[in-house]
Structure 1
Amino acid sequence: MVQDYSRRGFLTVLAAASAVPAWAAPPEISLRPHTRPSGLHKQAIPAAEALIHKAGLSGQIGFAVADTATGRVLESHGGAQGLPPASVTKSITALYALEKLGPSHRFRTRLITTGPVENGILKGDLVLAGGGDPTLDTDALADMARKLKAAGVREVRGQFQVWAGALPYIGKIDNNQPDHVGYNPSISGLALNFNRVHFEWRRSGQGWGVSMDARSAKYRPEVAIAKMAVQTRQLPVYTYESRGGTDHWTVASGALGNGGSRWLPVRRPDKYAGDVFRTLARAHGISLPKETIANTLPAGSTVVTQQSAVLRDILRLTLKYSTNLSAEMIGLAATQADGSKATSLLASGQAMTRWARDKLDMGQARFVDHSGLGDASRVTAADMVGALDTVVARQQLKPLLKPVILRHANGKPNTNHPLKVVAKTGTLNFASTLAGYVTATDGSELAFAIFTADQSKRSKLGKDDRERPKGSRSWIRKSKGLQQTLLERWGTLYSA
């Protein structure tokens, strides 16, 4: 009969044994200890409920984990509860785009001429035509200006037109966000520098010198489409108004200090790109009139084409840096490629919802956009794990996910942690998500999704409170701590 001893009982037996006189001769049987039963160390692993209690996290918690070798769900808690997926949404957007556009798809931005070029003079219009490239930057526009010069154009006698109709114009990704946050820009078929303008300030005498530019790795052209004024006040830090097609900003002097910078969103991306291209063309000796906006794409001859990287590489960066604009533009392009009319993010999100339910069996999913910034998207942990455990996700999405470095108890990164995690993170105010794959030391692979949200606290936030709401940072820290302890539980408990 096998008996279980408590630690106290074991020590009592050990003390009694120590009172027996030592043998004078070697024993007739070996005293080598018996091999401990395999998996004994797993008995000390805390239960998931204990980890949840220890985290002290308010709100709702849903998670699920499955063995990718068998597809068997190993553990679930609140897995059927729909919660905001935050930027984990971008994982589904990536799969959606890979199917509808293809991994080798490239976006093209073009310069089109509507008349002949004679002696360096274009006798017609020049059109800057966007093709939905979310990665176009000032360096790429400068290269297009250089190629236009090489094509023999020195002057344009007609109009300089800008066409951004490859995708619908959308004023903001999420109307509930503060006006000044750079992660919530406008959307159109022509984007530049992720539709953000760089605002910089420096103390100058009793005031400040300010600049608004479209900087990139090589260039810093100032822009006329966005203007900034410093006003003597403490709050609000920023105000915004659109006047005459120009973004007019003010900033509170009490918030500036001696100097600094930040990216602000652009609300007229078509005019922004046209403004910057005129400056770059002028630097190459090409005279252009002020840009006008074309509502339809003019017919003509393409003289310069700027190609993006392949979609697979764009998605890898989108997932790594969680770029909202890229996810939205790519998702809209995928919906259009499927033949659906994407007139809004909601309509395109609904198209992706139908696709996810059909292709990934995400029966409870509801997407209102492609980035996860919108409040109303809902996904269950069970549906997310099911999507991750599909062949297409393991083959196409998993290689695009970034490594997630787990941490020591003191919060510092533990680069030697035995568990290897690749996943997509997601963070909103009082919402934190993580979904991907964890590999144990024995090579066992698990697909997992962890969603946490305090819906009550989120619902009480005003628009101006959403950039740094009180208590959100500590709440997120607790959520991330729970994520790691759950991963460590699963990586130990479900390894061989």
Structure 2
Amino acid sequence: MLRRLALAAALLASLPAYAQLPDTLNQALAANGIPADAVGMLVLRGNEVVVAHNANQAMAPASTMKVVTTMVGLEQLGPVFRGRTELRSSGEVKNGVLKGDLIVRGGADMDLSGEALENLLRALRYQGIRKIAGDIVFDRELFNPARSDIGLAPFDESPEAYYNVIPDALLINKNMLQIDMRSSGKKLKLEMQPALDRVSITSDMRLIDGDCAKWEDGWKLPEALTDKAGRIKVVLHGTFPRNCIASNSINVVDRNDYLDRLLRLKWKQLGGTISGQTVEGHTPADAALLASHVSRSLPELVRDINKPSDNTLARTVFLSLGSLESDPVLGSHPLPAVQQTTFVRSDQAVRGWMRAHQIDDTGLVLENGSGLSRIERITPRQMGGILEAGLSSNWAPEFQSSLPIVAVDGTMRKRLKDSPAASRARLKTGSLHDVAALAGYVPDANGKLCVVVGMVNTDLVAHGKGRAVLDALVDWVARSGGPVQQPVAGSQPAQTGNQQVAK
């Protein structure tokens, strides 16, 4: 492995500044009106640099940044890593009463759901507890800061959408409410899951004549209103087509309210009572473990990150790099406490791994590890180095199986169906309003696995133009590797910045 890493590092370090792209890719750029300096590309075939165009230029990667987070996550945290949620208390149990606070301790459990919470509370009932005489304490202090979502400006105009959920160490159901909307000609009926204590849903949405398939066109930002008695009303706004059925998941209830009201309702349904309030706090050293829940193992979660491009899960893994380490018995346990923020430790973990694999981290900018960022940057060379290291990783099968299969599943399921890359290439996608990107592995015409990275950074990516260029790159790689074709006499491919000769 060390020899392979050394060869890969030498290969990447030797990339020249300028050369030419294949004619096919130059034509794709011209056809879509995308300037060559807005594109970064790298193709590696074993020890051969096949294409390198602007490979040393730091670019916005969008969700291909998840390649970095998941690869480093598997290597640093390991395949048996699991997040944990614990119920603890320093109080004693006497005559069915827990005489003390019940602490809900967050441990980056990415599978914490309403069902998991109910099972945790049921474990308390099995221990004979029917009344909690103290407070409910939410311990989110694994991450520093515990609530990075507070005071943060919305990323875009849809802060209620799932892709915008900012994780914490004690996030349940991803803080989402599932809303079922059913309209007749005159009435809109709403249902909400999960049910929360003293939380209701209503709407001032106006029914219109319209296409049910386009119901989202009339959607406006919902809100959660709290009255003086502490009741919360979720209010939907906008328009909705008549005689239409649709559903949506929204993040509008504060996460403390969400968890508190879900916990209290489920505890009540189990026949329990609570006398205290709900507060945020920390777990005392003498607090005994009463019940615990662990997430699925990291390889399963990595698949759920990369196939559908899940931002919240990716951000949780990134923060876990700076707060947790693998435990073969418990699944994970916290790292020793330090004054640094979790982000700083996570950033150091990624850079330390890269340097250990002889990948220069100059120009790398991390914000949350998901690519949902205006400032994250990485060079195609760095991304290619990470993918090269992934081929030699002990966890290469787990990592590769997490990437979307071209024309089959995940975010690549509808692309390149008529290409030889279909069903063979595995590629992580990335997309923002001014970014289109791909990173992964593409077998060439001889079955030789190639590392492929492509990034387009320009407002011209709209209307699929950037995607068309990247698809042309993947298709070209999948068809390459056969006999070398002689150039047409007199042809002079355009010289464009920071490229490597294509072979």
TM-score (norm 2): 0.74
1:402 counterpart SS class: coil
Show the counterpart of 2:127: 151
Q: Work out whether 1:251 is the aligned partner of 2:236.
A: yes
Structure 1: tracts of 5 or more residues without a match: 1-44, 215-220, 458-470
Q: CA deviation at 1:436?
A: 0.5
Q: Tell me, what secondary structure is at the counterpart of 2:162?
A: coil
| 2:72 is equivalent to residue 96 of structure 1 | yes
What letter matches 1:373 in structure 2?
Answer: L
CA gap 1:279/1:241 in 2 versus in 1, 3 angstroms? closer
- 8 A contact 1:109–1:128 mirrored in 2: yes
Say whether 1:450 aligns with 2:454: yes
Contact 1:319 1:400 in 2 (8 A): no
Give me the whole-angstrom Cα distance separating, in 2, the residues matched to 1:224 and 1:186. 25
1:37-76 to structure 2, matched below 5 A, reads: 46-57=23-34, 60-67=38-45, 69-70=46-47, 72-76=48-52
Q: Which AA in structure 2 matches 1:355?
A: G
Match of 1:322 among 291, 302, 309: 309
Give yes or no for contact 1:46–1:489 (8 Å, CA) kept in 2.
no
Asked if the contact 1:135–1:191 (Cα under 8 Å) also holds between the matched residues in 2, the reply is no
Equivalent residue in structure 2 for 1:272, among 249, 258, 270: 258
* Cα pair 1:100 1:335 within 8 Å, conserved: no
Change in Cα spacing, 1:390 to 1:142, as seen in structure 2 (3 Å) is same
Residue 230 in 1 paired to residue 204 in 2?
yes
Please state whether the residue corresponding to 2:430 is helix, strand or coil.
Answer: strand
Partners of 1:275 and 1:291 within 8 A in 2: no
1:186 Cα shift?
A: 3.5
Identity %: 21
1:287 aligns with: 273
Alignment check: 8 A CA contact 1:442 1:495 kept: yes
Deviations, residues 366-386 of structure 1 (Å, cap 9, x unaligned): 111111101111112122112
- The CA deviation at 1:129 is 1.6
Distance 1:342 1:370 in 2: 18
* Cα-to-partner distance string for 1:399-448 (whole Å, 9 max, x where unaligned): 3432422499x968459756711121112123111101111353201001
Match of 2:435 among 431, 434, 437: 431
- Identify the residue that residue 176 of structure 1 maps to in structure 2: 155
Match of 1:193 in 2: 173
8 Å contact 2:205–2:240 — kept in the other structure?
no
Range with greater deviation from structure 2 (129-138 or 159-168): 159-168
Contact 1:240 1:250 in 2 (8 A): yes
- Structure 2 Cα separation of the partners of residues 228 and 182 of structure 1: 20
Asked if 2 retains the 8 angstrom alpha-carbon contact of 1:389 and 1:447, the reply is: yes
The CA RMSD over aligned residues, in Å, is 3.4
Q: Which residue of 1 aligns with 2:352?
A: 355
Please tell me whether residue 369 in structure 1 is matched to residue 368 in structure 2: yes
* Structure 1 counterpart SS, 2:395: helix
User: Following the alignment from structure 1 to structure 2, what is the Cα–Cα distance between the partners of residues 280 and 396?
Assistant: 39
> 8 Å contact 1:182–1:263 — kept in the other structure?
yes
**1:278-427 counterparts in 2 under 5 A?**
278-289=264-275, 292-298=278-284, 299-337=286-324, 343=341, 347=344, 350-351=347-348, 354-355=351-352, 357-359=354-356, 360-390=359-389, 394-397=393-396, 398-406=399-407, 413=417, 420-427=424-431
| SS of aligned partner of 1:385 | helix
1:361 Cα offset (Å): 2.6
Q: Which amino acid aligns with 2:31?
A: K
Partner of 1:390, secondary structure, is helix
Distance 1:260 1:289, change over 3 A: farther
What amino acid sits opposite 2:405 in the alignment? V
- Mapped contact 1:356–1:365 kept (Cα < 8 A): no
Following the alignment from structure 1 to structure 2, what is the Cα–Cα distance between the partners of residues 325 and 225? Answer: 25
Name the SS for the 1:130 alignment partner. Answer: strand
Per-residue deviation, 1:324: 1.2
Aligned to 2:323, the other structure's residue is in SS state helix
Higher relative contact order (CA 8 A, sep 6+): 2
CA distance in 2: counterparts of 1:86 and 1:223, whole angstroms: 38
> Aligned equivalents of 1:454 and 1:175: distance in 2?
22
State yes or no: 1:440 paired with 2:426. Answer: no
Amino acid at match of 2:271: G
Task: Return 410-419 or 246-255, whichever deviates more.
Answer: 410-419
DSSP 3-state at the match of 2:428: strand
Partner residue of 1:139?
A: 115
Where does residue 105 of structure 1 map in the other structure?
81
| 2:273 aligned counterpart, secondary structure | coil
The residue identity in structure 2 corresponding to 1:137 is: S
Residue 364 of structure 1 deviates from its aligned partner by 2.4
Query: Aligned to 2:141, what secondary structure does the other structure show?
Result: coil
Instruction: Report the Cα offset of residue 145 of structure 1.
Output: 2.2
1:210 aligns with 2:190: yes
Paired AA for residue 72 in structure 2:
Y
**How many corresponding residue pairs?**
425
CA contact (8 A) 1:190 1:270 kept: no
Helix, strand or coil for the counterpart of 1:404?
A: coil
Single out whichever of 110-119 and 387-396 deviates more from structure 2: 387-396
Q: Distance in 2 between matches of 1:131 and 1:418?
A: 39
Amino acid of the structure 2 residue aligned with 1:389: E
